[in-house]
Amino acid sequence: MIYGYARVSTKGQAKNGNSLEEQKEVILSRYPTAKIVSEASSGAKYRTVFSELVQQLQRGDVLVVTKLDRFCRTTKEGLQYIDELMAKGVSIHILNMGLIEDTAMGRLIVTNLLAFAEFERAMIVERTQSGKEIAKQNPNYREGRKPKKYNVKKFAELYEKVCDGYKTVAEAANELGISRAKWYRITNDI
């Protein structure tokens, strides 16, 4: 049996050609009879669906993944899965690389590609952290989401109504379009 595995870990991946729909479409264009298994999970976290699929695969099955980074997160993890699957007699086809061969040369190529993929992820994290550190040097830098704006005049009116017991904090915050927590932060600053 042919199984396709698709995974997304971030919302941004949908914009980069890694959406679940795009992965499924690519797999089915090459293997129209493939049974597609998918999950939305960070590669850094335990991937329940993938682990169950690996346990289910049997001799003669084919596991199809669009890209190496959809298959595994680290070199060690990738090699462990490859060893486990090949020992079971399962073929692994990474569509942008080809069929992984159970030969010395095949293992060398896969090990190097896994190492480069892991290195690339580490460099992305490093650049992101470096960019944050540089941004933090700016006195106007604020980490996290941009604060929601609210109408100060409308807040004052609603604050009066809350104090007089005509409205609850939840009602007033909802009317302003802010959370109750934000309401309390604003009132603590008054």
Same domain, residue pair 32 and 94: yes
pTM (global) more than 0.85: no
Q: Check whether residue 24 and residue 80 sit in a common domain.
A: yes
Examine the domain organization and report whether 54 and 143 are in the same domain: no
**Range of 69's domain?**
2-104
> What does the pLDDT read at residue 79?
93
Residue 111 domain flag: no
Q: Is residue 127 part of a domain?
A: no
Active site residue 179: no
Residue 122 falls inside a structural domain: no
Residue 98: strand, helix, or coil:
strand
DSSP character for 24?
A: H
Low-confidence ranges of the chain (pLDDT < 50): none
Q: Which amino acid belongs to residue 127?
A: R
Instruction: Give the number of domains in the chain.
Output: 2
pLDDT digits (tens, 9 = 90+) for 161-177: 999 999 999 999 999 98
pLDDT at residue 139, as a whole number:
85
Distance of CA 150 to the CA centre of its chain: 32
Whether 116 is covered by a domain: the verdict is: no
Report the CATH number at residue 48: 3.40.50.1390
For residues 92 and 136, membership in a common domain is answered with no
CB of 65 within 8 A of CB of 94? Answer: yes
CATH number at residue 172: 1.10.10
Q: Are 63 and 15 in the same domain?
A: yes
Q: Which one of 104, 122, 148 terminates a domain?
A: 104
Q: Is residue 26 part of a domain?
A: yes
Coil vs helix vs strand at 110: helix
- How many other CB atoms are found less than 10 A from the CB of residue 50? 22
**13 lies in a domain?**
yes
- Residue 166 and residue 97 share a domain: no
Q: Are residues 14 and 85 in the same domain?
A: yes
Do 15 and 96 belong together in one domain? yes
Query: What is the rounded CA–CA span in Å between residue 167 and residue 154?
Result: 13
Residues 145 and 95 in one domain: no
For position 36, what pLDDT does the model report?
97
Residue at 123 is within a domain:
no
Q: Which of 9, 29, 41, 51 is catalytic?
A: 9
Residues 6+ apart with CB under 8 A from 40: 7, 8, 9, 20
Please state whether beta strands 2-8 and 35-40 pair in parallel, antiparallel, or not at all (unpaired).
parallel
What single DSSP character describes residue 176? H
pLDDT given for residue 43 in this prediction = 56
pLDDT tens readout for residues 38-62: 988 765 667 889 999 999 999 999 9
State the pLDDT at residue 138: 87
Same domain, 89 and 141: no
